[in-house]
Amino acid sequence: MITAQDIAIHRAAPVVRAPAAAFTERLLLLVLFVTVLASSVAFIEPSPHDALMGVLTLACLVAGVRFERSIALLFLLLLVWNVGGLISLLNVAGTEQTAQYAVTSIYLAVAAVLFASLFAHNTMLRIVTVRAAYVLTATVISIAGIVGYFGLFPGAHDLFATNDRALGGFKDPNVFGPFLIWPALVVIERMLARRVQIADIMIAGVLLFALLLSFSRGAWFHFAVSCAVMMMLTFVVAPTPSVRMRIFGMSLIGLMALAGFVVLLLSFDSIGAMFRERAQLVQSYDVGSGGRFTLQELAIADLLNFPNGMGPFEFSRVHGLQQHNVYLQAFLVYGWAGGMAYVVLLAATLLLAMRAVLVATPWQPYLIAAFATFVGEVAEGFVIDTDHWRHFFLLLGMIWGLGAATFNHVRTAMSEGRTGHVGAA
């Protein structure tokens, strides 16, 4: 929820004074809140979130959201990625499924640019609105996943869990788990660096419990990597030695509490048995003639033979299963040009974030959480296809938008002779 303290520290954000502008901004914030709130409803296609993105686009136009020149590279790389995807359609039959895949890629690219443009201005009010909606929706679907896993209500297990794995409002527990990581990091970061509230402890516990019950090895690894990056950056950017000591001490307490929490949960037979099964580094479907590793070897051979890409779903049609690697997916579906654009996009996003995340701004904690989550998602991409994850493109837009806002903040501070207050980029 948005607290008075959150708003109080956001003095650096531009203030909208004209009544008409104030109304359109409030309308935009309302639509933004509802759109993000609906992002966890992903078990139907198209999802309510997709329809609301159209409403959000209209609200952005009404509120005068403009394209920021500093996100031009994001737009260009996403454009090349999608042009490559459209060219690859020439290699497959023109079916509704392949056309829908291409349209989804374009829609997600537009969403990323829209979010980046949103966060570049009036940054704090907009990012706090997203935080409030995202934490709320993640908490609700986490509770739904937990309820479904234990079958606490009739029909809950069939709706919110499958194969003894929580999936909340998603079709796949391997997408549900990563969806929870950014809101979890935002809540944890606040406890580490500023204050500990009972509500935050409860929210973090629910999110991490649901993450565990997703039994997604990739999501567990993703969280471990992202949490480590977040704690390290929070420690590095701490303004005083006393805050660093607090972060260090709270991190130790948090890790011990998390370890104790996991041990307690594993004492339940059903959870412990599934955890031992899923915690094995190599599963049966990873090896063998039809295993993940063999399919990835075949994918490397195919991408060398198809410079324009094989097209959506063509690899799985030929070989029977997906290769489960987003980088191979980028080349197989979007061709060499699209694949290179995707790799450059990730590299450029990481470099941008590493520059911006060290600058002291009111939105720095949110950028730290976004960067840390993005690092984990980039790593998880080696074992799963993330190119159509809606929250991935929200993170992408968030990093570029907050980065643009940060560099604008630096320029404004320098012009006002406050360079010492800004910090080192």
Q: In this model, does residue 88 exceed pLDDT 50?
A: yes
The chain-wide mean pLDDT, for the chain, equals: 87
With contact defined as beta carbons under 8 Å apart, do 24 and 64 qualify? yes
DSSP 132-179: HHHHHHHHHHHHHHHHHHHT-STTHHHHHEETTEE-TTSS-HHHHHHH
With contact defined as beta carbons under 8 Å apart, do 385 and 321 qualify? no
Specify the range with the lowest mean pLDDT, choosing from 239-248, 314-323, 385-394. 314-323
Q: Which of 283, 391, 399, 384 is nearest to 327 (CA)?
A: 384
Q: Could you identify the residue written with the tokens 């069939």? A: 158
Provide the pLDDT for residue 8: 46
Between helix 123-150 and helix 96-119 the angle, nearest 10°, is: 130
Distance CA 10, CA 363 (A): 8
Distance CA 288, CA 294 (A): 7
Between helix 241-266 and helix 217-236 the angle, nearest 10°, is: 160
What are 138-180's pLDDT values in tens digits? Answer: 999 999 999 999 988 888 888 898 888 999 889 999 999 999 9
Between helix 123-150 and helix 181-193 the angle, nearest 10°, is: 110
Name the region of 109 (left: φ>0; alpha: ψ -120 to 50; beta: rest): alpha
Q: In this model, does residue 359 exceed pLDDT 90?
A: yes
With contact defined as beta carbons under 8 Å apart, do 161 and 209 qualify? no
Distance CA 353, CA 340 (A): 20
Q: Which residues contact 223 (CB under 8 A, 6 or more apart)?
A: 177, 181, 184, 208, 211, 376
Distance CA 55, CA 403 (A): 25
Q: Is the pTM of this model over 0.85?
A: yes
The gap from C-alpha 35 to its chain's centroid, in whole angstroms, comes to: 15
CA atoms within 13 A on the CB side of 302: 25
CA distances to 103, 182, 300, 323, 339 from 329, rounded to whole Å, are: 16, 24, 10, 8, 8
155 compared with 26, residue with greater pLDDT: 26
Q: Could you identify the residue written with the tokens 């996100």? A: 71
Residue 326 is given by DSSP the state: H
Distance CA 365, CA 231 (A): 11
What are 276-308's pLDDT values in tens digits? Answer: 776 666 555 555 555 667 788 888 888 888 888
Distance CA 170, CA 162 (A): 11
Provide the pLDDT for residue 399: 97
Distance CA 211, CA 33 (A): 23
**Strand, helix or coil for residue 274:** helix
What are 313-324's pLDDT values in tens digits? Answer: 888 888 878 788
